Amino acid sequence: MATSQSVVGEEQQDNKLKLYSYWRSSCSFRVRIALNLKGLKYEYKPVNLLKGEQSNPEFLKLNPVGCVSVLVDGPAVIFDSFAIIMYLEDKYPNHPLLPRDINQRAINFQATSIVFSAIQPLHNLGILNYVGEKGGPDAKIPWVQSVIRKGFTALEKLLKEHAGRYATGR
């Protein structure tokens, strides 16, 4: 996991981060990407969503919402991938994830917000199970497609003027 850039992060890190995560979860992917871009080492704590481990009482003490990811950094327990990434950005400023320019930052926050609030949570496991219960198993895929299509359409409009090598930034 560590890259050659991780040396800087390791020097600054005096206690080991713990990440409660599930390999196939997109929320977990973004946190792992942020940790790796910053070159931070962490201990991986798997939470198997398919086995319902997110609802275990011990896990709910860390995240009362019952979702991954959760980051534990010494006494700090942080849940929600956006909150975790912003915490990492503040605490470990090496290899910054955000541009300095406030207008460019606002573009990043808008893109983030579309993914965090208009796409991903509308088709997470809990919601999909609910849609399946109420509308039957065939209702799931059209629901997911409609949510993703709407969100990606918005993302494309937002990023049209800003994308380069990356979604925002050249």
Cβ-based nearer residue to ligand GSH, 8 or 147 = 147
| Total chain residues near ligand GSH (CB under 6 A) | 17
Shortest CB 138 distance to ligand GSH, Å: 20
Stretch that binds ligand GSH, among 6-14, 77-85, 132-140, 151-159 (CB under 6 A): 77-85
Range list of β-strands (E), 13-98: 17-21, 42-46, 70-73, 76-79
Euclidean distance between CA atoms 170 and 167, whole angstroms: 8
Shortest CB 96 distance to ligand GSH, Å: 20
Cβ-based nearer residue to ligand GSH, 37 or 85 = 85
Euclidean distance between CA atoms 61 and 56, whole angstroms: 9
Euclidean distance between CA atoms 81 and 78, whole angstroms: 9
Residue among 54, 107, 151, 168 that touches ligand GSH (CB under 6 A): 54
Residue among 8, 53, 109, 126 that touches ligand GSH (CB under 6 A): 126
Binding status of residue 36 toward ligand GSH by CB under 6 A: no
Binding status of residue 62 toward ligand GSH by CB under 6 A: no
Euclidean distance between CA atoms 16 and 70, whole angstroms: 14
* Sheet strands side by side (includes 70-73): 42-46, 17-21, 70-73, 76-79
Binding status of residue 109 toward ligand GSH by CB under 6 A: no
